[in-house]
């Protein structure tokens, strides 16, 4: 069994944090790999190499099961670390602060997923009539302390998942920040649709109220997609184990689904297309009215080899836009890079058909993007 450690946290990259989280409470590499596979396309040997590297640099520590309690403490610090990253995102904090201060005075506020409690404290300090904060993870303990330390003991903390919670009145404002690297992966659509229906007054406000999922077509440099060496490795495996694996290679070559890019690569890319809005969710709308399956044209503005997409969001808090577009100032959100094994040569001025849908995998929503054959 191995547990995560935050030796030299300032040196760790987000990719590493993603991996560490699978060892946060102590896990065998097999369990961690199995859990990771539910959410990421990840190569087994790459995973093993990375785990070995992280063990040798002290981020992962082999433990025996009796040390589980200690491992839990490491999990807590990992959770805090990920929230500190959010707090240090100036544009995120400033957008929320500005809108909260503009809207909440004399109004009742419900925060879904309060994390450290920072937004609820801002709401209480800006004169909200009542603040209720819901949080489902252990970070709620820190939120309780933050409320006390800031003279906001009146903030009502509810520990649990909002979808299991009931409250005694409808509120004027629902505050939330449930956006992942795949913008939908924190289940913002399901959660806010439920919260709006059960907790919000008919003339109440959602903050944010609108979420766009956008993409750009890109050309990764060849070492980033690594598809050639993947193919070579499978060919090598095929001969070393004496099994004909060519159907797998053929399927790999034919796939036109843009999958999550392997973690742990840093190579660059060129943007080949204009921005395409895959989804534009008005969160006040009933979920049934959201279009969750579309075919759209991606306009090519530079010729090249289209072998990937970068996905990002634009969300709107009143008039404020927050985005993790790769063309905007950096935020705490990474972009969601996708690769396709079979690249397309594209010419400036062409339009490539892209099919986008929202799918749910092991209880989590995500954006599925595929190139439509023409």
Ligand X SMILES: C[S@@+](CC[C@H](N)C(=O)[O-])C[C@H]1O[C@@H](n2cnc3c(N)ncnc32)[C@H](O)[C@@H]1O
Nearest one of 49, 25, 26, 44 to 34, comparing CA atoms: 44
- What is the Cα–Cα distance from 138 to 166, expressed in whole angstroms? 20
Q: Quick one: which of 51, 139, 283, 322 contacts ligand X (CB under 6 A)?
A: 139
Instruction: Show the CA angle centred on residue 142, arms to residues 363 and 139, nearest 5°.
Output: 15
Nearer to ligand X among residue 130 and residue 163 (C-beta):
163
Residues binding ligand X: what is the number (CB under 6 A)?
20
Nearer to ligand X among residue 111 and residue 219 (C-beta):
111
Residues 315-344 that bind ligand X (CB under 6 A): none
Cβ contacts of 140 within 8 Å, gap of 6 or more:
114, 157, 159
Q: Which residues pair with 306 in a beta bridge?
A: 344
The alpha-carbon radius of gyration of the chain (Å, integer) is 22
| CB environment 55-88: b (16+ within 10 A), e (fewer) | eeeebbbebeeeeeeebeebbbebbbebbeebee
- What is the Cα–Cα distance from 322 to 306, expressed in whole angstroms? 27
Q: Quick one: which of 137, 222, 238, 299 contacts ligand X (CB under 6 A)?
A: 137
Q: Quick one: which of 4, 134, 173, 200 contacts ligand X (CB under 6 A)?
A: 134
Residues 67-126 that bind ligand X (CB under 6 A): 86, 112-116, 118-119
Residues 15-54 that bind ligand X (CB under 6 A): none
CA distances to 155, 176, 264 from 37, rounded to whole Å, are 39, 28, 15
Under rule CB under 6 A, residue 262 binds ligand X: no
Q: What is the smallest separation between the CB atom of 66 and ligand X, expressed in angstroms? A: 28
Cβ neighbours, 10 Å, residue 140: 20
Q: What is the smallest separation between the CB atom of 79 and ligand X, expressed in angstroms? A: 8
Q: Quick one: which of 5, 191, 193, 323 contacts ligand X (CB under 6 A)?
A: 191
Under rule CB under 6 A, residue 136 binds ligand X: yes
Q: Quick one: which of 95, 108, 162, 307 contacts ligand X (CB under 6 A)?
A: 162
Q: Which stretch binds ligand X (CB under 6 A): 129-137, 260-268, 353-361, 365-373?
A: 129-137
Nearer to ligand X among residue 95 and residue 307 (C-beta):
95
Residues forming the site for ligand X (CB under 6 A): 86, 112-116, 118-119, 134-137, 139, 161-163, 177-178, 186, 191
């Amino acid at each position: 069994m191995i547990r995560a450690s935050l030796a030299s946290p300032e040196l760790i990259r987000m990719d590493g944090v993603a991996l560490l989280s699978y060892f946060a409470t102590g896990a065998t590499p097999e369990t961690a790999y199995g859990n990771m596979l539910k959410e990421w396309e990840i190569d087994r040997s790459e995973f093993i190499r990375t785990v070995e590297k992280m063990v040798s640099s002290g981020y992962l520590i082999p433990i025996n099961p009796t040390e589980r309690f200690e491992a839990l403490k490491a999990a807590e610090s990992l959770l805090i670390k990920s929230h500190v990253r959010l707090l240090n995102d100036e544009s995120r904090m400033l957008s929320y602060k500005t809108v909260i201060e503009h809207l909440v005075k004399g109004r009742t506020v419900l925060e879904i997923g309060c994390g450290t409690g920072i937004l609820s404290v801002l709401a209480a300090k800006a004169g909200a009539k009542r603040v209720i904060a819901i949080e489902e993870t252990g970070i709620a303990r820190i939120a309780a302390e933050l409320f006390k330390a800031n003279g906001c003991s009146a903030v009502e903390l509810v520990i649990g998942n909002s979808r299991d919670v009931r409250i005694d009145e409808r509120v004027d404002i629902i505050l939330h920040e449930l956006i992942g690297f795949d913008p939908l992966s924190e289940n913002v659509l399901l959660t806010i649709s439920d919260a709006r229906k059960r907790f919000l007054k008919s003339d109440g406000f959602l903050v944010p109220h609108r979420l766009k999922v956008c993409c750009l077509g890109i050309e990764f440099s060849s070492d980033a997609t690594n598809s050639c060496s993947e193919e070579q490795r499978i060919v090598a495996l095929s001969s070393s184990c004496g099994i004909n694996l060519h159907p797998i290679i053929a399927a790999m070559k034919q796939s036109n689904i843009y999958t999550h890019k392997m973690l742990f690569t840093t190579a660059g890319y060129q943007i080949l297309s204009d921005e395409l809005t895959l989804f534009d969710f008005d969160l006040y709308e009933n979920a049934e009215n959201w279009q969750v399956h579309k075919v759209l044209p991606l306009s090519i503005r530079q010729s090249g080899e289209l072998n990937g997409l970068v996905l990002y969001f634009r969300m709107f808090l009143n008039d404020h836009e927050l985005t993790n577009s790769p063309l905007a100032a950096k935020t705490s959100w990474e972009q969601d890079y996708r690769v396709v094994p079979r690249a397309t040569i594209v010419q400036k001025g062409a339009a490539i058909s892209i099919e986008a849908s929202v799918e749910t995998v092991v209880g989590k929503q995500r954006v599925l993007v595929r190139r439509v054959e023409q």
